[in-house]
Structure 1
Amino acid sequence: MTRDPGKRPAPGPAPPPVDRLALFLGSELERLLEPGSALYPRLAAAYGHFVQGRGVPLPVLCLHRDRQNLEPDAYRIEIGGHPEAEGAFRTGLLLAVGEDATLNALLGEETLEPVYGMPARWIGPTQAEPAAARGCILFDPPGLIATHLIEVLGREAYRLLDQASLEQRLKSFLPAHRTLLSQLRRHPGLPGLRVLLQALVRERVSLQDLLSILEAAARFAPEAEDLQSLTELVRAEIPQTICGPYLDEEGQIPAVVLTDTTEGVLKAQFQSQKGLDPEIGERFLGVLSRELEELHAAGWSPALVVDFEIRAGLRRLVERDFPDLAVLSWSEIAPRAGIRTLATIGSRFHPWARKLPSSRWTTSAATGSEPAAPGERPASDHPDKS
């Protein structure tokens, strides 16, 4: 049988569309997909809590059964067909997470929980009560999967903010804000607005007060040099939204700050034609790492508060090594928010991090000086003490 050389073969079937957000379960976890399973309400509650708190429209979560490359007791979370996180759960057991000393008193196999890599132990149901009494956090399969999903969404939700979902969200402002939306369609345009919102979401800024964000974008877009500049201007207009997640019970932001000289050096580096000198960047990251390590050991989760003009550049510098570190500018500090300075990094990036006296952890400014006025730089940030 011969084929007409001028005739093309009929096209094969089109590949199935890739799910934007999907959860795959191994064969031993497939029971979680059965009607009445606790997985569905757990996922729905976690999903709803995230959307409500972050204000980010999310796609439908697609649930799938076993794949050939997935272990029987494993699960995987994918975005756009790309694996983002995975874990496993032992059939018939619970996962207890806690301090090593606490876990050592329990019977079971040592492991690390898959979400944050914390010490954990596989325990039987009879160990649940003593584990809870000792302060352990207990996970069943639905609870662990829901927690892992929220962790993934927390760092990757910006990738799920597409043009269609943005259009749908903007329609909710009609007809009351028709003029505002018309301005935004001109400057920065819907593609540009999407990039701006993605940049905010990537740094865990809530879109709950989207109207204020849109109004700031419309105000500055015609004059902004580019989308990065526009993003920084918008951030400075929503200080309550920016600061809210980092305020402690006393209305202050635990912070690592830089001396004026340090900021001057970094500003000159970022603005030079060659950009940041890799050696200076590495030295800065080294000192920052030592400061954060000591503060984290003392129970603090500080933000890095810096000058408006270097915030974006510093965020790019620290993002890979410290993805969860909030980088704020002084322009983004809400009027009633205070700064609790826990450490100051000097311009020479001395290779040995200073010991931090406990008095610095109970005052608003470093070394026991007078508390800084809300939104102002503490006095200890000005001299170069490195």
Structure 2
Amino acid sequence: MSLKRLTQLGVPVGIVFIVVMLVIPLPAVVLDLLIAMNITGALLILLTAMFVVRPLDFASFPAILLVMTLFRLALNVSATRLVLTDGYAGKVIDTFGHFVVGGSLIVGLIIFAILLVIQFVVITNGAGRVAEVGARFTLDAMPGKQMAIDADLNSGLIDEDQARKRRSEVHAEADFYGAMDGASKFVKGDAIAAIIITLVNLVGGFAVGMVQRGLSPSESVTTYSLLSVGDGLVSQIPALLLSVATGLVVTRSAGDSDMGSDIIRQITANQLPMRIAGFAGMALCLIPGLPKIPFLLAGGALLLLSARVQDEPDTAVDPAEAAALMPAVERPDQLAEDIQVDPLGLELSADIIDLVDPQSGGDLLERVKALRRKVATELGVVLPLVRTRDNLDLPSRTYVIKLFDIEVARGEAPANTVLAIGDFLGSLPGEPTQEPVFGLEAKWIPSELRHQAELSGATVVDRSAVITTHLAEIVTRHAARLLGREDVRMLTDVVKRSHPNVVEELTPVHLSLGEVQRVLQTLLDEEISIRNLVRIYEALSLRAQTTKDLDALVDAARQALGPAVVAPHVQDGVVHVISFDPQFEQRMLESMRPGEQGSVIVLDPVSLQAVVGGLAQLLVEAENRNIRPVLVCAPQLRAAVRRLVRPAIERLHVLSYAELTGTAQVRSAGVVTGDRAMEGVR
């Protein structure tokens, strides 16, 4: 039979044998062998617990603890049977009953009681409490660890195999501490059973000796009661070893080496405490009546050890290792990695991390992945990976959206609630709020009232959708900032695979990659999709032959996109426009001046204020009629007018007359002069 087969059958056969021991009498010789195996096995388990680096390296410990406890109880039953029937239970128990305790029942009971107190009151209770707390905190930390793994996977720091391995370790850790919480109850129950078994053996042995065997009280005590105490001591020694092993496992924190090495290294790491302790030990010799030699030896040993620890740093460190470690600390590439800033981040407070825990029904990470695909399809931009993490410093139920590690938006997503949006929410219980994107009146209501809110006409959105929508709005608004130079290179390489001539004519012949990036960022800033890069690059390659002015290049790209620029503003086949009075438009053309950021309109402040005020008035009037107008002007003016209007009226888009070519129908929503606004044809 192979070794693998023997290991598979060994434990099941051993458990069956333990069960057989409970009902079948064993010879005294076999009992001696099994007791020796019990003590030796308990010592092996204790030493193994001391030499493991991580608690999970001894993941089978809870099962081993149960088997060893059952084995020890089976030995108790077998020993009790031999003591009561034969008055003899082997050499081991006889030695513990007579030699170890000096043949005194009182001494044996006292030693037994002391061992029991040490095991039950001190070690078992402490280990049980540590196991319970460890299991609770491990389970509470699981969602955060799962989120960290998913975030690292989404950001590309680890691959799928590494993520799967780390998830299995997280689950194994939770299972281990949960099992240890239950296994500690075995140890506590074993201690209680030892008390009951010993008392029953004392009373039963004394009764058997006097009633059945006709012995005198002293002979009965010598023959039976001392053997019962010896049996209790024999069982308590391995029980104590296993209790200590349990305490070591549940209190063991992950380190770089075994427990013994960690303890010695950490205690001897600083010579000052050792010196103080050494001098204090030697100072105790000054107390009259205390023996001087033991304290002198103990204090002197600590002083010698502290001197050795002081000298060790000069001799223990290998110069080659020190030389190898020094560059690793100061390597520029490592420092550069440490200062990297995530372009896009999402942080959640501790009480809402269930949103990213699939086991709790959280689907936020999947929705973020879908959002990246949606943005790539609509805007033509490949978003950077969203780094999602928990932040214990955030207030409860809060999430924060960051760009380049700077907070740009914040919202709330209370647990066990949904967001109801509508005008008739007064009858629903909940907390009033505003929808974070459009500012609509809303209310966080309990999840169980979702159906009732929908029947009342409200729009109900779950928490993940609220956060994803908010994130989408932030991404759309800041898409230009998120488009980096490497992203432009990647997009250009994609175009080059299918249209190599277009890219070769554009860059680096006429425009550098940085100049192309500025054009694409400006288009995104004007909320224009750059998905059709082939048309954009074709227009840029032609326009760049005559000028590299950013406004001219952007207008060339916009005209190449044609209807795609106007399409988002078409309502039922109609584009509603606000325009300038021709005379005032000519005046603005004459007042245009070049600037560092492009051309600007230089007019007197009164005229500029009148223009902005008139545009704002017409825009509000149009929106009251459920119309979303755009501002149109001459192509030469478009970029300058946008710079003028955007700081005050961000939602008003600016188009040129050339971009309206081919539109089905254009309808005026108003005309602006230099001093007033005139309402147009409705």
Normalization by structure 1: what TM-score? 0.83
Alpha-carbon separation, structure 1, partners of 2:559 and 2:429: 52
Aligned to 1:245: 568
Contact 2:344 2:387 in 1 (8 A): yes
Following TM superposition, by how much is the alpha carbon of 1:108 offset from its aligned partner in structure 2, in angstroms?
Answer: 2.5
Alpha-carbon separation, structure 2, partners of 1:333 and 1:80: 37
Structure 1's 61 and 293: CA in aligned 2 closer, same or farther, altered over 3 A? same
Match status 1:93 vs 2:417: yes
Aligned to 2:377: 52
Code of the aligned partner of 1:343: G
Following TM superposition, by how much is the alpha carbon of 1:245 offset from its aligned partner in structure 2, in angstroms?
Answer: 0.9
Alpha-carbon separation, structure 2, partners of 1:175 and 1:81: 35
Aligned to 1:167: 489
1:93-150 Cα deviation digits (max 9, x unpaired): 2111223xx2234332322122222211121234322322343222221010100011
Contact 2:630 2:652 in 1 (8 A): yes
Following TM superposition, by how much is the alpha carbon of 1:164 offset from its aligned partner in structure 2, in angstroms?
Answer: 0.9
Aligned to 1:133: 455
- Where 1:103 maps in the other structure, the secondary structure is coil
Structure 1's 175 and 131: CA in aligned 2 closer, same or farther, altered over 3 A? closer
Range that drifts further, 104-113 or 227-236 = 104-113
1:199-256 Cα deviation digits (max 9, x unpaired): 0011111112111011000010121251222112221222112111111222x21221
Code of the aligned partner of 1:85: A
- Where 2:453 maps in the other structure, the secondary structure is helix
Alpha-carbon separation, structure 2, partners of 1:333 and 1:51: 26
Aligned to 1:344: 671
Aligned to 1:107: 429
1:336-379 Cα deviation digits (max 9, x unpaired): 4321211121233x2xx55x5xxxxxxxxx437xxxxxxxxxxx
1:163-202 Cα deviation digits (max 9, x unpaired): 1111111112234422321221121211101100110011
Alpha-carbon separation, structure 1, partners of 2:380 and 2:626: 29
Aligned to 2:395: 71
Match status 1:326 vs 2:649: no
Code of the aligned partner of 1:39: L
Code of the aligned partner of 1:329: S
Structure 1's 38 and 187: CA in aligned 2 closer, same or farther, altered over 3 A? same
- Where 1:172 maps in the other structure, the secondary structure is helix
Aligned to 1:293: 620
Aligned to 2:535: 212
Match status 1:80 vs 2:423: no
Following TM superposition, by how much is the alpha carbon of 1:34 offset from its aligned partner in structure 2, in angstroms?
Answer: 1.6
Contact 1:265 1:347 in 2 (8 A): no
Contact 1:269 1:277 in 2 (8 A): no
Match status 1:284 vs 2:608: no
Q: Across the two proteins, how many residue pairs are aligned to each other?
A: 345
Alpha-carbon separation, structure 2, partners of 1:293 and 1:176: 46
Range that drifts further, 278-287 or 192-201 = 278-287
Alpha-carbon separation, structure 1, partners of 2:457 and 2:443: 13
- Where 1:299 maps in the other structure, the secondary structure is coil
- Where 1:308 maps in the other structure, the secondary structure is coil
Contact 1:30 1:66 in 2 (8 A): no
Structure 1's 272 and 39: CA in aligned 2 closer, same or farther, altered over 3 A? closer
Following TM superposition, by how much is the alpha carbon of 1:317 offset from its aligned partner in structure 2, in angstroms?
Answer: 1.3
Aligned to 1:335: 662
Alpha-carbon separation, structure 2, partners of 1:104 and 1:309: 52
Per residue, is there more helix in 1 or in 2?
A: 2
Alpha-carbon separation, structure 2, partners of 1:194 and 1:255: 30
Of 157, 163, 179 in structure 1, the residue corresponding to residue 501 of structure 2 is 179
The percentage of counterpart residues that share the same residue type is: 27
Question: Could you list the runs of 5+ residues in structure 2 that have no partner in the other structure?
Answer: 1-328, 596-600
Aligned to 2:440: 118
Aligned to 1:314: 641
Following TM superposition, by how much is the alpha carbon of 1:67 offset from its aligned partner in structure 2, in angstroms?
Answer: 4.5
Per residue, is there more strand in 1 or in 2?
A: 1
- Where 1:91 maps in the other structure, the secondary structure is coil
Question: Could you list the runs of 5+ residues in structure 1 that have no partner in the other structure?
Answer: 1-9, 357-365, 369-386
Structure 1's 331 and 317: CA in aligned 2 closer, same or farther, altered over 3 A? same
Alpha-carbon separation, structure 1, partners of 2:672 and 2:609: 14
Alpha-carbon separation, structure 2, partners of 1:225 and 1:316: 19
Contact 1:308 1:329 in 2 (8 A): yes
Structure 1's 279 and 188: CA in aligned 2 closer, same or farther, altered over 3 A? farther
Following TM superposition, by how much is the alpha carbon of 1:85 offset from its aligned partner in structure 2, in angstroms?
Answer: 1.1
Match status 1:367 vs 2:681: yes
Following TM superposition, by how much is the alpha carbon of 1:76 offset from its aligned partner in structure 2, in angstroms?
Answer: 0.9
Code of the aligned partner of 2:368: L
Range that drifts further, 33-42 or 214-223 = 33-42
1:308-357 Cα deviation digits (max 9, x unpaired): 11111111111122222211011111414321211121233x2xx55x5x
Contact 1:261 1:347 in 2 (8 A): no
Range that drifts further, 231-240 or 19-28 = 231-240
Match status 1:302 vs 2:629: yes
Contact 1:184 1:217 in 2 (8 A): yes
Structure 1's 67 and 215: CA in aligned 2 closer, same or farther, altered over 3 A? farther
Code of the aligned partner of 1:33: V
Code of the aligned partner of 1:148: H
Alpha-carbon separation, structure 1, partners of 2:479 and 2:363: 24
Of 346, 355, 360 in structure 2, the residue corresponding to residue 32 of structure 1 is 355
Structure 1's 261 and 133: CA in aligned 2 closer, same or farther, altered over 3 A? farther
- Where 1:367 maps in the other structure, the secondary structure is coil
